[in-house]
Amino acid sequence: MLNVLASLHPDQKFYWLIGGVAALLLIASVIGWVLKSRLARNPQAGERSQKVVNNLVARVNAWWVMVAVFAVAFLAGKPGTIILFTFISYFALREFMTLTPTRAGDHRALSLAFFLLIPLHYYLIYTEWYALFTILIPVYAFLLMPCISVLAQDTEYFLERAAKIQWGVMISIYCISHAPALLLLDIPGFTGQNALLLFYFMLIVQLSDVLQYVFGNLFGKTKVAPVVSPNKTVEGLIGGGLSTVLIGAAMWWITPFTPLQSAGMAAVIVTMGFLGGLVMSAVKRSLGAKDWGSMIEGHGGMLDRMDSVSFAAPIFFHLVRYFFTP
Amino acid sequence: MIVLLARFFLIGLVKLLVGANPRWMEAAPDVAQSIYFTNHSSHLDTLALWAALPAEIRATTRPVAARDYWGKGRIKRFIALKVLNAVLIEREVSRHSDPLAPLFEALGQGDSLIIFPEGTRRTQAEPSDFKGGLYHLAEAFPQVRLVPVYLDTLHRSMPKGSLLPVPLICTVRFGGAIFLQTGEHKKNFLVRAREAVLKLI
C-alpha cells in the first residue's frame, strides 16, 4: 500500500492529497452542522457553547475557502504559488503595520516596503536567486529603511519605530516567504516535486494548529501560558502535537524523507509553530490587540493564521536545505 | 456597463489597499435618507466610506467633492461624476452663489450624502471644529438622519503631500443617527455633531 503511494506520479499525489483534505473538511462541516442543530433543539444550551459552535462553523467555512485558494494556486504552478504568497505577505504586513504606531516620517520607507520590497523579494524566489534572497531583507532592507526614515528628521521614538518596522517586515515578508522558497531547492531524486514538499509543510503546520484546537477544546484543562494566549492548553499541545507528528510520519511518501525523518521534521514544525503562535500572540498583545485583523471569518486576521507558518518555515527550509541538498 | 465595471474595480482596489471594513457600532445600516458626516484626513476618505457602505445604501448615496480637485482632468471627472455620482461644490465662497445649493438640490431629490464638515483635510487623528454647512443642511431637512462616521488610520495611510499610500486597514465606524433639535443653537449643534464622531474613536 505505502509503496504504491510512493510510486504515484506527483500530479496523482496532489489529487489524492487535495481529495483527502476535502474529505476531512466535509467531516468537519458535518460535525459542525450536527452540533449546531443539536444546540438549536436544546433550549438550556449555554452562551459559551453557542459561541464555540458558531466559531467552529465559521472556521470550517473559512477553511473551505482557504483550501480552494491554495488548490487553485498550486494548479497554476510556481507563478501561481508565488503570487499567492506575495499577497499573503502583503496582507500580513498590512495587519502588522496597522497595529504599529508609526509616524509621518516613516511614510516613505513603509510605502517602499509594501510596493517595492514585497514584489522584489518574491521575484528573487521566482528567479531562484538564492544568495540575494537570503540577505535582501536582513541586510539591505534593515539598513536602508531607517536611512529613508531618518531623512524626515523625526527623532521621537526613532529606534522603536525602526525596530518595529523591521520586525514586521521580517515576519510578514522574509519568514513567510520561506514556505514558497521550498520551490527553489534542488533535492536529488525529488526533482519536479517541490510543490508537494510545500503542501506537506503547510499541511503539517495547519493540522498542528487545528488538532491543538480540537484536543484543547475536548480535553483542555491546564493552560500553558494564560497571560499570552488563553486558548493554548497542555492537553491540546500534547494531543494535537503527537497526532500531527504521527500524521507527518504517515505522509513521508510526498516528501524526500523516510518515515522516521518525516516524523522528526513534523516534530520540528509543530514545535516552531507552537512557539511562533505564542510569540506572535505576545507581540499582538504588546501592540494592544486581541486579533491581528478580521479578514478570515472565525480565525481573525491573516497573521492569526500565518503566525505559526512564519516561525516554522525558515527552520524547516534550512533543515531541508542542509540535510537533503548537495 | 463601463461605469458598473469601474465601480466594481474601484471598490476592489480600495478594499485591497485600505480594507474599508464597516463596523456599525450603535445601529444597523438603514436605507432611509441620511447625511453621513466624517473626519477628513486624506484623499482616500471619500472612497473608503463609499466602499464601506452596503450596496443598496451606496446606490443612493452621493459623496460631496470639491470641484477644484475632482472637476479637473477627464479621469478624475469620470470617477467623480459617473462612478461615484458625486455632488461637486465650489470651495471658494463667492457672493453670487450659495456653495451649498447643489447639496440642497440633491437632498431635495431624496439622495443621501457623504460630507466632511471640517472643510479641508487635517493631519491628525481627531477632527477639528466643524463648519456651519452641516447645520444649514440639518435645518433645511430636519427629517434626514445625520449619521456620524469615523475613519481611522487614513491619516497615516495617505497624509497630505504623500505620493504613494501606505496600505493600512481602515475600520469605518458608523455611529447612531442624530437630529437637529428644535431651537438648538448652531454652535451647540456643531459641537454635539463633532462629539458624536469623537465618541467613535
Cα–Cα distance, A11 to B150 (Å, whole number): 51
Pairs of residues, one from chain A and one from chain B, whose beta carbons lie less than 8 Å apart: 35
Cα–Cα distance, A163 to A79 (Å, whole number): 32
Cα–Cα distance, A192 to A186 (Å, whole number): 9
Cα–Cα distance, B193 to B178 (Å, whole number): 8
CB-count exposure of residue A204 (10 Å: 0-12, 13-18, 19+): buried
CB contact under 8 A, B164 and A90: no
User: Over 70: is that where the pLDDT of B93 sits?
Assistant: no
Q: What is the mean pLDDT of chain B?
A: 91
CB contact under 8 A, B162 and A98: no
Segment A154-175, tens digit of pLDDT: 999 999 999 999 999 999 999 9
| SS3 assignment for chain B | CHHHHHHHHHHHHHHHHHCCEEEECCCCCCCCCEEEEECCCCCCHHHHHHHHCCHHHHCCEEEEEEHHHHCCCHHHHHHHHHHCCCEEECCCCCCCCCCCHHHHHHHHCCCEEEECCCCCCCCCCCCCCCCCHHHHHHHHCCCCEEEEEEECCHHHHCCCCCCCCCCCCCEEEECCCECCCCCCCHHHHHHHHHHHHHCCC
Nearest-CA residue of chain B relative to A94? B168
Cα–Cα distance, A60 to A42 (Å, whole number): 23
C-alpha cell at A148: 529613508
pLDDT band at B70 (very low <50, low <70, confident <90, very high): confident
Using the Cβ of B161 and the Cβ atoms of chain A, whether some distance falls under 8 Å is answered with: no
CB contact under 8 A, B168 and A107: no
- The full set of domain ranges for chain A reads 1-75, 76-324
Residue B137 contacts residue B35 (beta carbons within 8 Å)? yes
* Chain A residues closer than 8 Å to B153 by CB: 98
CB-count exposure of residue A192 (10 Å: 0-12, 13-18, 19+): exposed
CB contact under 8 A, A98 and B164: no
Using the Cβ of B168 and the Cβ atoms of chain A, whether some distance falls under 8 Å is answered with: yes
| Residue A244: half-sphere exposure toward Cβ, Cα within 13 Å | 32
- For CA atoms A183, A184, A185, A191, give the dihedral sign: positive
* Chain B residues closer than 8 Å to A115 by CB: 164
CB contact under 8 A, A107 and B153: no
CB contact under 8 A, B169 and A94: yes
CA dihedral B118, B119, B123, B125 (to 10 degrees): 30
Segment B27-47, tens digit of pLDDT: 899 999 999 999 998 889 999
CB contact under 8 A, A111 and B168: no
Segment B154-185, tens digit of pLDDT: 999 988 778 899 999 999 999 999 999 988 99
Cα–Cα distance, A219 to A72 (Å, whole number): 36
CB contact under 8 A, B164 and A95: no
Can you list the alpha helix ranges (DSSP code H) found in A42-129?
47-75, 77-99, 107-112, 118-126
pLDDT band at B94 (very low <50, low <70, confident <90, very high): low
Report the number of distinct structural domains present in chain B: 1
Cα–Cα distance, A185 to A14 (Å, whole number): 19
- Residue numbers of the domain that contains B141: 2-198
Segment A219-238, tens digit of pLDDT: 988 999 989 988 899 999 99
Nearest Cα neighbor of A133 from A185, A181, A88 is A181
Residue A21 contacts residue A74 (beta carbons within 8 Å)? no
For the domain that residue B175 is a member of, what is the CATH number?
Answer: 3.40.1130.10
Cα–Cα distance, A108 to B161 (Å, whole number): 11
C-alpha cell at A184: 527553489
Q: Is the pTM of this model over 0.90?
A: yes
Cα–Cα distance, A27 to A64 (Å, whole number): 12
Which residue has cell 536582513?
A138
What ipTM score was computed for the predicted complex, to two decimals? Answer: 0.91
Nearest-CA residue of chain B relative to A104? B156
Out of B162, B164, B166, name the one closest to residue A97 (CB): B166
Segment A183-212, tens digit of pLDDT: 999 999 998 899 999 999 999 999 999 999
pLDDT band at A1 (very low <50, low <70, confident <90, very high): low
* Chain B residues closer than 8 Å to A100 by CB: none
Phi, psi of B35 (to 5 degrees): -115, 115
Residues in CB range of B159: below 8 A, 6 or more apart = A104, A107, B41, B42, B123
Cα angle A298, A303, A305 (rounded to 5 degrees) comes to: 50
Q: What is the mean pLDDT of chain A?
A: 93
- Length of chain B in terms of residues written: 201
* Chain A residues closer than 8 Å to B159 by CB: 104, 107
Cα–Cα distance, A176 to A180 (Å, whole number): 8
What is the reported pLDDT for A317? 98
Which residue has cell 504586513?
A93
